[in-house]
Amino acid sequence: AQSVTQLGSHVSVSEGALVLLRCNYSSSVPPYLFWYVQYPNQGLQLLLKYTSAATLVKGINGFEAEFKKSETSFHLTKPSAHMSDAAEYFCAVSGGSGGSNYKLTFGKGTLLTVNP
């Protein structure tokens, strides 16, 4: 079965510092990959998605992610953190080998804290 691993349940950065949130998937066949963000007391919002068109994907709010097949990774980055980026971030996958095109499998989430 398809799975997603997010390294680090909690990441803390200073305002202005680089944000790096890690995500690895388990499929040998490239799946569809997504990053969602959840602000406190809200639902999930799509940040960006990879659907095989380009390996470097740009999303909203200055975030981007790079698909690396050799590393089975889809890490999320932002060059300069802002206080408003504090939220929980989820990596999700569908399709690929062992996966389904009819469901999203989520990682356990990474809580991002931004310190002033």
Partner 1 sequence: EAQVTQNPRYLITVTGKKLTVTCSQNMNHEYMSWYRQDPGLGLRQIYYSMNVEVTDKGDVPEGYKVSRKEKRNFPLILESPSPNQTSLYFCASRAGQGFYNEQFFGPGTRLTVL
Give the binding site for partner 1 (CB under 8 A). 9, 32, 36, 41-46, 49, 51, 90, 94-95, 101-104, 106-109
**Least distance in angstroms from the C-beta of 42 to partner 1:** 6
**Least distance in angstroms from the C-beta of 16 to partner 1:** 29
Q: Which is nearer to partner 1, 9 or 14 (CB)?
A: 9
DSSP assignment string, 16-37: TS-EEEEEEE--SS--EEEEEE
Phi, psi dihedral angles at 52 (to 5 degrees): 85, 0
Q: Quote the CA–CA distance of 30 and 43 in Å, as a whole number.
A: 27
